[in-house]
Structure 1
């Protein structure tokens, strides 16, 4: 049974990493090869499948994470990240630092991918931890939860946008309705989860190489205006492109230029060039010092990128092994509410494959024939599928490894923190979708 293969592969991976202390990159590749053999992928094709998975995952994330890490380190080594952190502390106070992270993450995360927003905000979170002496997860977990919610629930993020096209739903209405679900659900989990006893017992150290260890005097730090301008520069570029894409259609050179500049790698590359001048020669730091900051960030990212790439290989083996088709065939005849069915199929696929994109695309294809005669608002179906796709993030999800490595957690602790919060968010999201559908029906919208 394909799902049994998935379950056993996850257990073997946990055993290799927790008991035998095998490196995450090697363990993921080893388990991926084993799953490929069991699922009948020809031996001669296995290297190509692994390469496709690694290449696809690294291609999507290397530029974003690498450039984002360099921007963050340049800001950290110049004191800009501390300047922003100090201003957040002054505005919210140490008691409300989690609220500050949730507000910032939700505002930035509405239009930015999880990975992009994460690498932009995390230097500020690291600096807040160093300045306040707080637990890393106490500050960082609310940020991650808020970003996960925005990325998974709402257009213009890739999953919800793709499903909206499948269901012929309005992306604008989906975003409007989704905000009423995502904001309260995300804020609730973000503020509750760091307070749970099993999370509070975790006390990871700041990862080395990704944050400056120097504490700056006020006179040594760049001004708040420049610090905030550089931090928000990629946000404006990416958000501007996303809004333009939602509002205007066409084939004009202007739209193509906006799309190009607003793509995550280009926006971050332009931000890095801006940061190198603003926090380099402009304030008296040499380009050699700035280059050293970039080099330090790149060195620290090497293992993180390898592990994320291996996670992509594991995911690809599961996809090519036919597990998504098996789940699609097995659930095609279920006779339950279209909203619950859409959520459930997306959640099962997420557990089995780790890929939220595969989960939402497959689930939407299964339930699409049921939508026409169901009377369910297509926007609610989009949100149901999107909510299901966030559930049960674990070792076959490359995003899980990014979370684990940045927050310097063991595999078991990462499962305790991330798998539980993503699952709870998915369940709350389903409840919110069912409630919203009831309200729309009552209002005869």
Structure 2
């Protein structure tokens, strides 16, 4: 009964978003109420469940996403992303342009949300492709692959950070494992797949792209932008802090939290927690991309305000996903899933991935799919004794699969590279599915070692 209500709830959510073009956040709250009633929850307690879901979801995430958006915008507005891309491309030369684009996208993608990363990198990719005389899509696919992988696998991005919070996983550990899985995944989906795609959909590589879709472009003179080293350091600062904490805990304490932590243990744990890591990184970015370059405080503050405006709806959507997740847990759906698969001889990692894939195909949003899947597998994961960090990556990989017409990323890719719907399905959709499958394979291999 509970699973039937869940399926009907997902169908309702899909109907509201796709058919009636309703706002995703509003759709999630409406669906949460309807599903809660369908699950037989007392009407007086539904509002409390939804409030608890939103509150628990956005507690730490509001800090992480807010600071992350500000940091990314500071790097972008200062020309740091422009400097990173051009320096790497000049260093790698024309023969290794794809690797240069992947590296640039990876570094920039860690500091920026997926949509912002695409808007920022597409003009640079276009300019490089035209100058080098190569098809725009031959650089566009590696760029999209690297941005997607950082979006799905690596904190402080919304989906992996949010799933880690739900499943109680260590964000630094997720980051470390995520990088290990991400490198071969990006090679397969970004570089190897580009060669295959050119053979079976050659028409897609003949388009000149559509820069008009991006609106007015901010132009930079290379000599006016921050140095390459400072730009990279600023972009990767939160990653470095979280990685230091994780490596320290693994080397000094074998990954187990000490019962009586010393002063140094407390300091290391403090700087590595995602919210504090992002705060420290933002303060560094304000100096490196602002005060150090003699930019006035009002201009820096304006950049921060614009950054927050750009993620306001994303935060609400993530909160709505938390409400839906909480209703499913409080209504007993999680226990039903646990009972359904208790006797099934399937790895919980594969199950988490599969649930995320189904939700992704149905809902479109990677973040909402990942959050809902995390809520459903939570009771199953506790009984199976699976490493939460690996489950975060499995769900993150599944949430990227089979992006199609109900996903904003699909239409962004189509418009910017001037593709037909068929060409977008044969390139973008396949690319995202390769990332999902390769990501799961990497997680399963990693589970044999750690």
Within 5 A, what are the aligned runs for 1:49-198? 49-92=49-92, 99-100=99-100, 102-103=102-103, 117=110, 119=112, 126-133=119-126, 138=141, 141-147=144-150, 150-151=153-154, 179=180, 183-191=183-191
User: 1:394, 1:34 → 2: CA distance?
Assistant: 27
CA offsets per residue over residues 91-146 of structure 1, 9 Å max, x none?
Answer: 3457856534544677x79xxxxxx9353787665432122336797465312443
1:157 is displaced (CA, Å) by 8.7
* Unaligned stretches of 5+ residues in structure 1: 110-115, 166-170, 369-377, 441-445
Please state whether the residue corresponding to 1:216 is helix, strand or coil. Answer: coil
User: 2:146, 2:302 → 1: CA distance?
Assistant: 28
Contact 2:84 2:104 in 1 (8 A): no
Q: 1:48 to 1:386 in 2, by over 3 A?
A: closer
**Cα RMSD (Å):** 4.7
Contact 1:230 1:271 in 2 (8 A): yes
Aligned residue in 2 for 1:31:
31
Contact 2:25 2:316 in 1 (8 A): yes
User: 1:234, 1:325 → 2: CA distance?
Assistant: 36
CA offsets per residue over residues 371-391 of structure 1, 9 Å max, x none?
Answer: xxxxxxx99x996x5665346
1:241 is displaced (CA, Å) by 0.9
User: 1:437, 1:314 → 2: CA distance?
Assistant: 29
User: 1:229, 1:394 → 2: CA distance?
Assistant: 28
Please state whether the residue corresponding to 2:305 is helix, strand or coil. Answer: helix
User: 2:123, 2:341 → 1: CA distance?
Assistant: 49
1:265 is displaced (CA, Å) by 1.7
User: 1:63, 1:408 → 2: CA distance?
Assistant: 33
**Alignment pair present for 1:317 and 2:327:** yes
Contact 1:315 1:354 in 2 (8 A): no
User: 1:405, 1:51 → 2: CA distance?
Assistant: 33
Contact 2:167 2:374 in 1 (8 A): no
Contact 1:391 1:422 in 2 (8 A): no
Contact 2:110 2:150 in 1 (8 A): yes
User: 1:86, 1:222 → 2: CA distance?
Assistant: 12
User: 2:392, 2:55 → 1: CA distance?
Assistant: 25
User: 1:315, 1:321 → 2: CA distance?
Assistant: 10
Query: Of the candidates 392, 399, 402, which is equivalent to residue 393 of structure 1?
Result: 399
Please state whether the residue corresponding to 2:188 is helix, strand or coil. Answer: helix
* Unaligned stretches of 5+ residues in structure 2: 127-135, 360-368, 416-420
Aligned residue in 2 for 1:303:
313
CA offsets per residue over residues 200-247 of structure 1, 9 Å max, x none?
Answer: 999898889xxx942111222122232222223222211101111222
User: 1:326, 1:23 → 2: CA distance?
Assistant: 29
User: 1:175, 1:366 → 2: CA distance?
Assistant: 22
After TM superposition, the score normalised by the length of structure 1 is 0.71
User: 2:33, 2:333 → 1: CA distance?
Assistant: 15
Higher deviation after alignment, 425-434 or 84-93: 425-434
Aligned residue in 1 for 2:301:
291
User: 2:447, 2:318 → 1: CA distance?
Assistant: 37
> Number of aligned pairs?
396
Aligned residue in 2 for 1:228:
232
CA offsets per residue over residues 318-360 of structure 1, 9 Å max, x none?
Answer: 22221111111122223x3xxx343444345545784454466
Aligned residue in 1 for 2:6:
6
User: 2:271, 2:18 → 1: CA distance?
Assistant: 43
User: 2:111, 2:410 → 1: CA distance?
Assistant: 13
Contact 2:88 2:104 in 1 (8 A): no
